Amino acid sequence: MEELPIKGAYLHTPRLFHDDRGTFMESFRAADLAEAAGHGLRLSQANTSVSAKGVIRGVHYADVPPSQAKYVTCLSGRILDVIVDLRVGSPTFGEHVPVVLDSESFRSVYISEGLGHGFAVLSDSATVFYLCSEPYAPTRERGLNPLDPELGIDWQVAEPILSEKDVQAPTMKQALDEGLLPDFETCTTFYKTLS
């Protein structure tokens, strides 16, 4: 587990064991995450998405507390996974970190509560698996338009395919002006309750 440049975001690179049967890896170990992040992941829901080339899902986040931490793995194909710091007052507010996840390295990312998350499919299709700390709650779910120029994300797809919900999502400035973004202090206080 290595911390990414945004506090609360981690990259897990598993050791792969290959033999004539195929490949084995430990894709998630609670103790490793707890050691790196200072707390574990309470598993409440697991999601799987299968998407075609060019699909962008996100940028999604949820109100804190309790929000929804995610542990994301690409099981087949290749994606550009992007973590965005949306916590107002954070030293890295507005910054993003892109990470390639694929079915060759089987790397995963852990995304703390209050951070935004999205991904773009770079291969013909991709299957993405998420472990989530909280169940889906439509009244607390939020999103930003992933193509918002202020986010400045190069999704690396020529013809992006978005849901109508993501197309209609506010820009970062609109969400900030409307008070829809998480507060860094609130997030930091919430993280302490997870230890």
Nearest to 76 by CA among 126, 117, 119: 126
Could you say which of 10, 12, 60, 96 is catalytic?
Answer: 60
C-alpha closest to that of 45 among 64, 66, 71: 71
71 an active-site residue?
no
Max CA separation in the chain (angstroms):
57
96 is known as an active-site residue: no
Sign of CA dihedral 106, 55, 157, 170: negative
Q: Which two tokens stand for residue 61?
A: 């986040």
Catalytic residue among 39, 96, 117, 130: 130
Q: Which amino acid is at 143?
A: G
Return the residue matching tokens 């409440």. Answer: 44
Q: What residues pair up with 10 in beta bridges, in sequence order?
A: 3, 110
Catalytic positions, written as ranges = 60, 130
